[in-house]
């Protein structure tokens, strides 16, 4: 905002607070209103620009502050998971460990079919007339329910209801996840 625009803003509040509202009656008063409007727009732009600079600075500060906290959180959550894993080895029923300040919980997921190549799965479903599992793409949730995991020649494979190996699907191994509540 330049010095002329600052001068234009000096009487804006006074004009708005008058009992008799300002009225544009000719080209001169229209020009006067445009000068006020230009000054206000310039002031608005300056305020927004300053606010954006401050937002960026604050966001950068926040990222810096949170990065150290994030790594510390990760450290402690990892230490809790290691401890809980040891406790789980000793006692498979120790799925939750509780203290006055928080809980460590485990959740076991079973091995399950995992989609790797949707095109290959779709081709398999089409070739084997498994139309119930087709929309514009494979109805993965429904198909997954019909799949079975079997061991063939010492390796796990996924087969469909017809006993055929389904290409594009692998076996996701059984896993245990840990969560911390505070």
- Evaluate if residue 86 carries a pLDDT over 90: yes
Does residue 38 form part of some domain?
yes
Number of domains in the chain: 2
Contact predicate 116/168, CB 8 Å: yes
Does residue 57 form part of some domain?
yes
| 11 pLDDT tier (thresholds 50, 70, 90) | confident
- Residue of 144, 146, 137 whose CA lies nearest to 112: 144
Same domain, 113 and 177: yes
Q: What is the pLDDT of residues 167-182, one digit of tens each?
A: 999 999 999 988 777 7
- Evaluate if residue 95 carries a pLDDT over 90: yes
Which domain-ending residue is among 52, 69, 86? 69
Same domain, 112 and 177: yes
Name 140's Cβ contacts closer than 8 Å, sequence gap at least 6: 115, 118, 121
Does residue 10 form part of some domain?
yes
Output the pLDDT for position 105. Answer: 95
Question: Residue 47 is part of which domain span?
Answer: 3-69
Does residue 94 form part of some domain?
no
- In angstroms, the CA 32 to CA 28 distance is 6
Does residue 102 form part of some domain?
no
Which domain-ending residue is among 22, 48, 69? 69
- Evaluate if residue 144 carries a pLDDT over 90: yes
pLDDT: is 138 or 16 the higher one? Answer: 138
| 147 pLDDT tier (thresholds 50, 70, 90) | very high
pTM for the full predicted model: 0.47
Output the pLDDT for position 85. Answer: 95
């Amino acid at each position: 905002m330049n010095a002329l625009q600052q001068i234009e803003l000096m009487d804006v509040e006074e004009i708005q607070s008058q009992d008799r509202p300002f009225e544009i009656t000719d080209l001169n008063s229209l020009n006067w209103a445009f000068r006020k409007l230009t000054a206000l727009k310039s002031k608005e732009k300056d305020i927004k620009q300053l606010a954006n600079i401050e937002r960026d600075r604050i966001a950068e500060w926040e990222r810096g502050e949170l990065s150290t906290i994030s790594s510390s959180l990760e450290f402690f959550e990892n230490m809790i998971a290691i401890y809980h894993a040891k406790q789980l080895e000793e006692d498979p029923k120790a799925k939750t460990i509780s203290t006055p300040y928080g809980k460590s919980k485990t959740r076991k997921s079973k091995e399950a079919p995992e989609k790797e190549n949707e095109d290959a799965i779709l081709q398999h479903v089409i070739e084997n007339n498994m139309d119930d599992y087709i929309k514009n793409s494979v109805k993965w949730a429904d198909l997954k329910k019909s799949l079975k995991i079997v061991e063939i020649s010492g390796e796990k494979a996924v087969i469909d209801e017809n006993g055929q190996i389904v290409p594009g699907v692998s076996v996701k191994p059984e896993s245990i996840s840990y969560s911390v509540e505070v």
